[in-house]
Amino acid sequence: MPILMIRGRCVFRSSLTSRPGSAAFSKTSSCAQEEYARLRSMASGSLMNGDINHPHGSVSGNVGSLEETLQQMNTLIKENRDLKEALKQTNLTMKERFEGLSAWKEKQKEERDFLEQRLEEAKTRLNSMDAENAGLNKRVIELEKNGAESLHSELEMLRGQIARLQAEKHDLVALNSELQLKMGQGSPSDSFIEIRIAEDDLKVTQELPGALKEPSAFSMPKAESEEQTVRQLLHSLRAETDEKERLQLTLQEAQCRIAELMTGQEHNDSCAQTSLPVENTVGLSSFARC
């Protein structure tokens, strides 16, 4: 930094490369202004009275050094103004950058608050879904248990009915065969035929008349009664066969339903095992983004 010596005082001459607002800059400007005022007062006194202390004693030498000093002072003042203008521009630039930085920080804070809020909502939703999933799994287990018990009891009942119908069918087939055998033989040793009607709970007994003199009067009612009995037995046999087929279809439907319930249980178990890792992955990705 160049130094200007004026009558035993030093003035620091700053350049445009010095930092605005520094202590050296303030000291230079104040010192330059004081020295400028002092030199003007000294110059006016020298022009009027002369300089008796000067070794040469010439006024022209004093005037030359004074003009050079004034020129240097003007240069310092101009540099001071340039530095003030540069400082002003720097302050404006720094202010704009500070405002931009403040706005960016505010935006980042808002975005962070938003992401934290979304993360909390995701955690709450995940907890609620976990609780709901646990409740649904418990309900599915209870329904499967109750359904299995009811289906098992229903299957046992259907099996019992099928066994009973099969036994009745065998009895009816044997009875039908016996009646057909009796009709083929035409044995007159049968004393009576008993017909039971379930609807009226009546028992009709036809006894063979022992006092009939003509064999035709005995054979006609007997043949009609046997034919009617055979028709009733065949009708009952067909009804029991239809009932057996219906029960077999019901049993097949129940077995299909059990198979569907077992398949649905396996599907629900697989969905329950895969839903929780997917939700945890979504929550972790949101947290990583934050």
pLDDT tens digits for range 149-174: 888 888 888 888 888 888 888 888 88
**Does some domain include residue 228?**
no
**Does some domain include residue 75?**
yes
**Does some domain include residue 195?**
no
pLDDT band at 272 (very low <50, low <70, confident <90, very high): low
Q: What angle do CA 253, 254, 260 make, to 5 degrees?
A: 90
Q: What is the pLDDT of residue 271?
A: 64
Mean pLDDT to the nearest integer, 189-194: 42
pTM value is 0.31
**Does some domain include residue 41?**
yes
Q: What is the pLDDT of residue 163?
A: 86
Task: Tell me which residue range forms the domain holding 97.
Answer: 3-106
**Among 34, 40, 32, 42, which Cα is nearest to 11's?**
32
Question: Which tokens go with 50?
Answer: 């002369």
Q: What is the pLDDT of residue 133?
A: 92
**Distance, CA of 245 to CA of 257 (rounded, Å):** 18
Mean pLDDT of the chain: 70
**Does some domain include residue 36?**
yes
Residue 52 has pLDDT above 90, yes or no: no
- Number of structural domains (the chain) is 1
Mean pLDDT to the nearest integer, 182-187: 62
Q: Which has more pLDDT, 178 or 197?
A: 178
**Does some domain include residue 21?**
yes
**Does some domain include residue 246?**
no
**Distance, CA of 221 to CA of 210 (rounded, Å):** 14
Residue 187 phi/psi, 5-degree rounding, is -75, 125
**Distance, CA of 264 to CA of 144 (rounded, Å):** 10
Q: Which has more pLDDT, 71 or 62?
A: 71
**Does some domain include residue 15?**
yes
pLDDT band at 38 (very low <50, low <70, confident <90, very high): low
Residue 211 has pLDDT above 90, yes or no: no
**Distance, CA of 285 to CA of 126 (rounded, Å):** 14
Q: 99-113, 158-172, 276-290: which has the minimum mean pLDDT?
A: 276-290
Q: Which has more pLDDT, 203 or 130?
A: 130
